[in-house]
Amino acid sequence: MRQFKKIAMSHQNHKLATRLIHAGITPDPSTGAIMTPIYQTSTYVQNAPGDHKGYEYARTQNPTRTVLQNALASIENGKFALCFGSGMAATDAVAKLLMPGDEVIVANDLYGGTYRIFTKIFANYGIRFHFIDMSRPENIKGYLNDKTKMIWAETPTNPLLNIVDIAGVAAIAKANNLTLVVDNTFASPYLQNPLDHGADIVLHSATKYLGGHSDVVHGALIMNDAGLEERLRFIQNSCGAVPGPHDAWLVLRGIKTLHVRMQRHCENGATIAKWLRAHPKVDKVFWCGFEDHPNHEVAKKQMRDFGGMISFTLKNDSVEAANEVLKKTQLFSLAESLGGVESLIGHPATMTHASIPREDRIKNGLVDSLIRLSVGIEDVEDLINDLQQAIG
């Protein structure tokens, strides 16, 4: 077969923008196609038993998925990546590292589905989860005991945009031989690389910024430790929550523009956060780019910018008042999810976080009028005009 000039090269010396486009990618060996083909196959022909090209069965390996896994490992500054059928499937795989009796310390402000899988599924298998305020790493210490195996954090958190000090938590995890998992969905690798700050596993709902176009559900894990990768790869194959090749391809295409999309998400996010803060009907605005955000200094230390996720409450703190705003926006579509090029608006109390009991929700600051914005990359003036007519 003809050899193609562009051969597999290590892109680790390249900057992120270059790696987002090239890492893990080589022209397709059979045709030279510059874009990775969608290998829509369930199995691979062997010359003789065990004599194959590294691919046996598509639950176990798929070439489109392999390319995406290599690309994701590179852009998160990790050695390995594993792809899953959704962010929750990735979460499920990590939780399966645990055994009955094990304990996990979890940041209490986190995606409702993560709370649900821990409390409604894995708690039934005898695993204990402590949901705590992780805005100060020292808070973890009171919950450590010899059964603790894992620490789980999201940063920035969903939906209150709290910041967890990854390096601070990682120091406690290392000292106590615990696995630190960081859900990096909100930040994306453009803004933050948790492995660089000491995390053991980075989790993504690639449905969000990595995919970037609201057209795919996908999850990923990235790590440096070969033993951990082997255990998680075993779970990936044994439990089988793998993505199809077309979905892997969509994420692969999405990440090629992550940097340009994120730059605009951040610019629009900053403008809208400041505008909301000055609005007379708005009470609190949650965005980690404000200098008076309680963990702004930590955000500056571990993030490259502050992103396009913003939450705010209304002075009239009621579900009804929030509903009025949600009903009126036109460019901001009322929908779950985030991280796409188009702006979305949501009501955590009744949508993404409805699985959290009201009492717990309010205790953690998720009040009735809280509205979450995923600021897209449209013209920011149009977005502000839309919010203005909706909030009044």
Residue nearest to ligand PLP (CB): 87
Q: Which is nearer to ligand PLP, 207 or 295 (CB)?
A: 207
Catalytic residue (choose from 44, 59, 136, 301): 59
Calpha distance 339→251 (Å, rounded): 13
* Closer of 157 and 380 to ligand PLP (Cβ): 157
Task: Give catalytic status of residue 115 as yes or no.
Answer: no
- Residue 31 is encoded by which pair of tokens? 């045709």
Instruction: Supply the minimum distance, in Å, between the C-beta of residue 32 and ligand PLP.
Output: 33
Residues 6 or more apart in contact with residue 242 via CB below 8 angstroms: 58, 59, 62, 65, 83, 84, 85, 236
Task: Provide the minimum distance between the beta carbon of 203 and ligand PLP in the complex, in angstroms, as a whole number.
Answer: 7
Q: Which of 238, 154, 263, 164 is nearest to 204 (CA)?
A: 154
Q: How far is the CB of 186 from ligand PLP (least distance, A)?
A: 6
Which entry of 19, 65, 111, 115 is annotated as an active-site residue?
111
Alpha-carbon span 341 to 260, nearest angstrom:
11
In this complex, which beta carbon is closest to ligand PLP, that of residue 25 or of residue 81? 81
Whether residue 111 lies in the annotated active site: yes
Residue type, 102: D
| Helix or strand run (H / E) with residue 107 | strand 103-107
* Owner of token pair 């901001």: 332
Query: Please, what is the minimum distance in Å from the beta carbon of residue 12 to ligand PLP?
Result: 27
Whether the link from the prior residue into 159 is cis, omega within 30° of 0, is: yes
Cβ of residue 333: shortest distance to ligand PLP, in angstroms? Answer: 15
CB-based contact 113:95 (threshold 8 Å): no
Structure tokens at 148: 């603790």
Catalytic residue among 102, 109, 165, 183: 183
Helical residues (DSSP H) of the chain, grouped into ranges: 16-22, 63-75, 87-95, 112-116, 166-175, 188-191, 226-239, 245-255, 258-277, 296-302, 319-328, 358-363, 380-391
Binding site for ligand PLP (CB under 6 A): 86-88, 111, 113-114, 154, 158, 183, 185-186, 205, 207, 217, 219
List CB contacts of 9: < 8 A, sequence separation 6 or more: none
β-bridge pairing 371-374 and 309-314: antiparallel
The CA-atom distances, in angstroms, between 185 and each of 45, 153, 274, 345, 360 are 37, 11, 23, 17, 23
Q: Give the three-class secondary structure for 83.
A: strand
Q: Specify whether 215 is catalytic.
A: no
- CB nearer to ligand PLP: give 181 or 367: 181
CB of 87 to ligand PLP, least distance (A): 2
* CB of 86 or CB of 268, closer to ligand PLP: 86
Nearer CB in complex with ligand PLP: 217/235: 217
CB of 58 to ligand PLP, least distance (A): 21
CA distance 234 to 392: 54
Is 141 catalytic? The answer is no
Q: At what angle do helices 258-277 and 380-391 cross, to 10 degrees?
A: 40
Q: Shortest gap between Cβ of 385 and ligand PLP (angstroms)?
A: 28
Task: Give the nearer residue to ligand PLP in terms of CB position, either 168 or 339.
Answer: 339
Nearer to ligand PLP, 158 or 162 (CB): 158
Whether residue 326 contacts residue 372, with contact meaning beta carbons closer than 8 Å, is answered with no
Residues involved in catalysis: 59, 111, 183, 208
